[in-house]
Chains A and B, each alone.
Chain A
Amino acid sequence: MTREWKPRLVAFFCNWCTYTAADLAGVSRLKYAPNVRVIRLMCSGRIDPQFILEALAKGADGVLIGGCHPNDCHYVEGNYKMLRRFQLLKRMLQDMGIEEQRVRLEWISAAEGDKVRKVVNEMTEALQALGPLGLPGRFEEWDREVEHLAATVQEKEAAGCACGAPAEPRDTEVAHV
């Protein structure tokens, strides 16, 4: 890491409430931490848990999910579906060694621009305190133990048997009849 580490927060906001609230925060010129990157979806019900895992795996230090308040979902009840997924996902992430504060679900209505500011700032602070999750780096570290594999095989082969044919370029279209 060349520069000083800063938390990276990916947010999935529903179009109707939380994204609009973030727009309102802008129009109101509220100031908050620049660490958040918002991805807009039509409804929090669209948020596939795969997106959350993928964001973490690709380098997010935290994920924020924003949806309409209970009973206010533009699509009637998409937010409940996200809430239900979130309850189990939270537990599963803990089992996978990811701190609870890294993934947060908030109901933020279109009128709550200030809540966007508050939640983003709180989360940025919490992530700053937790330090980097850094999954891409961890994956690299894990795989370092198999890095020298090819060389080892070659070595063994050369030692064990000198008659191995020279390596051919990989033939991709072989098919036997």
Chain B
Amino acid sequence: MAMEKQNQEPRIGFYVCHCGTNIAGMVDCAEVAHHVGTLPNVVMSKDYKYMCSDPGQELIQKDIAAHGLNRVVVASCSPLLHEHTFRGAVEKGGLNPFFFHMVNIREHDSWVHTDRQEATEKAKALAQAAIGRVAHHKALETKRVDINPTTLVVGAGIAGIHTAMTIANAGKQVVLVEREPTIGGHMAKFDKTFPTLDCAACILTPKMSAAGAHENIRLLSYSEVTKVDGFVGNYKVTIKRKPRYIDEEACIGCQDCIPACVFKTPKFADEFNEGLGKRRPVYIPFPQATPQIVAIDPNVCLNFKKGENGDRVVSDKCKKTCVEACGDKDAIDFTQTERFEEIEVGAIVVATGFQTYDATRSPSYGYGRYDNVYTALEIERLVNASGPTGGHVVMRDGKSEPKSVGIIHCVGSRDKKTNAWCSRVCCMYSMKLAHLLKEHTNAEIYNFYIDVRTPGKGYEEFYGKLLEEGVHFIRGRVGEVTDWAMTPEEEGKLVIRVEDTLAGMVRRIPVDMVVLATGLEPQKDAQDVRRLFNMSCGSEGFFLERHPKLAPVNTFSDGIYIAGACQGPKDIPDTVAQAGAAAAEVLALIDKGYVEQEPNTAFILEDECSGCKSCIPLCPYTAILFDEKTDKAWINEALCKGCGTCVGSCPSGSIVQNLFEDQEIFSEIEGVLAYD
């Protein structure tokens, strides 16, 4: 730290700016300049009309040469406005730009006070603080950090796919990680999309296969990120590759193994179809899955048994007819185990999506108790031509079609007892499902809503169309769904009890099928993911953007972006727009090639650190590490964002923050109080 320059006697030049009359109108600038001129270390003190103008800046440069200044203080506007300008002027004058300090006598003084004498006194006090402070300033350097041009996209729903494709199309490398065996996310499960009613698969699956085949995208399905180290431009990410017991290189996607399985009929709940369909132990989630590679589920495959610690281990007890069917492709590999792969990337986009509200948390709606209460996502599969019933809407008995359906909105949304927020998509998808159910079954459809929210292009028109189709809308929060009949017509039906707030009466509406429009909520492991990527969550648990309006896809960690419903409930158009925004941020970062860092980072005095570790848990960026070899803590400067929390907390005063050293602040305190 001991650079020659820093040991020089301070020779401070002070300038007070009139800012036209903005400052001079309320502060006697000449008096401030005179007062500061009497302070120790100050070799010249001037007032000038516009310091930020070119002549003002040149004045500083000339004086540095003429008076041998080695420190400069300017009292003018807010440093948030012109600190950069004056640092530049100081640098042009041949000094390190950090031998500068700025005093805010406009926003914090002349503009907010009405007594000229008081305002002048205040300006003197603030200037005196800066004079005391700047004497302790040190020469600092802004660091440039190169950016690794590869990007990691986590989660391959529509948000992740769109982000990855956009970046890849710009010619940059992308690693796309998805924890399920196929990409596609929730959108792949949808039948049609509102309000246009175009088929979800028709618009999504071409994008999925394009992403899978893109020369700039490396797709890692059935994989999870387990560790993230590093900092903007230079992240080291560990990815867990879960065993699918299939050699991904060898499998050609012929799916001959599936019918060859010793289980002649599918008998295990099929996750992709929300458990409404069945699959075999060897399966592909759905026909257009990407990658087109099967997976074997060790929990049900006969060739596995329960090991000592509950894990599944190979038993080799099965006839392995699948292996036979695979033949010389030899793609089935029961010996596969979890593998960990480390990759290096410069930027990360987190697009981990949402989960739907667990309807059993609202027991009064009967989900899980009454067979014919469904979640909306189940209905998506049920009306889907490639779904478990081939698009034939039948109830859980497998044969009867519903003649009447009640769709309950806001299940797990807009409810202080569950989730307080509006999930934004339920009104629209409920109406879409109402339309589809009516189209498939011609049933009477009742929507139970609190408010119908249609804030999107063509959405309100879609609502109008539904009303014309004769779908019933009943305004009121449903009290309960029950099978307890009070009249003969209610026998064998599910009765929806609701206060119809428009009619002003409590109604009982018997239906055959109930659909719960479950809301969107953060993924179960959102908190773990948040910590993994050093992000924050809002109080509801969705990832927090840096600024809700001006930085909606940035996070507080540089180089880490968010897109899609992991940031908050949103529909497909908004998700895609946000995914594009995230891609643009990534491209802006990697195209520049480097980042410059404000040198207000903290560092630990190695000889003085006792290794007490008190600072380590305080850093939200895990920039403080414990070196087992030296038995001391150290700060990874590239990760440090310069908040100074560790500095304020170090019990032995062994952490220093550049630009905000203890001594600098103590001098400032003394300065603001010295002048009476």
List which A15-38 residues lie within 8 A (CB) of chain B. 15, 19-20, 22-23, 25-27, 29-32, 34, 37-38
> Do A32 and B112 touch across chains, with their CB atoms under 8 A apart?
yes
On chain B, the residues within 8 Å of A39 by CB distance are 129, 665, 668-669, 672
Q: Which of under 10, 10 to 19, 20 to 34, or 35 or more describes the interface residues of B? A: 35 or more
Count A interface residues, CB 8 Å. Answer: 42
On chain A, the residues within 8 Å of B649 by CB distance are 45, 48, 81
On chain A, the residues within 8 Å of B111 by CB distance are 26-27, 29
Q: Mark B90-128, 1 if CB is under 8 A from A, else 0.
A: 000000000000001011110111110011011001100
List which B626-676 residues lie within 8 A (CB) of chain A. 641-645, 647-649, 657, 660, 662, 665-666, 668-670, 672-674, 676
> Do B113 and A31 touch across chains, with their CB atoms under 8 A apart?
yes
> Do B643 and A37 touch across chains, with their CB atoms under 8 A apart?
no
List which A87-124 residues lie within 8 A (CB) of chain B. 117
On chain B, the residues within 8 Å of A47 by CB distance are 648
Distance to closest chain B CB from A138 (angstroms): 15
Q: Is A60 interfacial (CB-CB < 8 Å)?
A: yes
Distance to closest chain A CB from B615 (angstroms): 11
> Do B620 and A46 touch across chains, with their CB atoms under 8 A apart?
no
> Do A51 and B620 touch across chains, with their CB atoms under 8 A apart?
no
Q: Is B618 interfacial (CB-CB < 8 Å)?
A: yes
On chain A, the residues within 8 Å of B644 by CB distance are 41-43, 45-46
Interface of B is mostly: helix
> Do A26 and B106 touch across chains, with their CB atoms under 8 A apart?
yes
> Do A71 and B669 touch across chains, with their CB atoms under 8 A apart?
no
Q: Mark B529-548, 1 if CB is under 8 A from A, else 0.
A: 00000001011000010000
Distance to closest chain A CB from B230 (angstroms): 18
Q: Is B556 interfacial (CB-CB < 8 Å)?
A: yes
Q: Is B79 interfacial (CB-CB < 8 Å)?
A: yes
> Do A42 and B536 touch across chains, with their CB atoms under 8 A apart?
no
Q: Is A55 interfacial (CB-CB < 8 Å)?
A: yes
Q: Is B362 interfacial (CB-CB < 8 Å)?
A: no
Bound complex: CA of A114 vs CA of B556, how far in Å?
A: 26
> Do A41 and B660 touch across chains, with their CB atoms under 8 A apart?
yes
List which B111-167 residues lie within 8 A (CB) of chain A. 111-115, 118-119, 121-122, 125-126, 129
Q: Is B273 interfacial (CB-CB < 8 Å)?
A: no
> Do A51 and B643 touch across chains, with their CB atoms under 8 A apart?
no
Distance to closest chain B CB from A169 (angstroms): 27
Q: Which of A32, A37, A71 has the most CB of B within 10 A?
A: A37
Bound complex: CA of A22 vs CA of B78, how far in Å?
A: 10
20 sample A-B contacts, Cβ–Cβ < 8 Å, listed by A number: A19-B80, A20-B80, A26-B112, A30-B112, A31-B114, A34-B112, A34-B115, A34-B118, A37-B129, A39-B665, A39-B668, A41-B665, A45-B645, A45-B648, A48-B647, A58-B673, A71-B544, A74-B556, A74-B643, A78-B645
> Which residues of B come within 8 Å of A, CB atoms?
78-81, 104, 106-109, 111-115, 118-119, 121-122, 125-126, 129, 536, 538-539, 544, 556, 600, 618, 620-621, 641-645, 647-649, 657, 660, 662, 665-666, 668-670, 672-674, 676
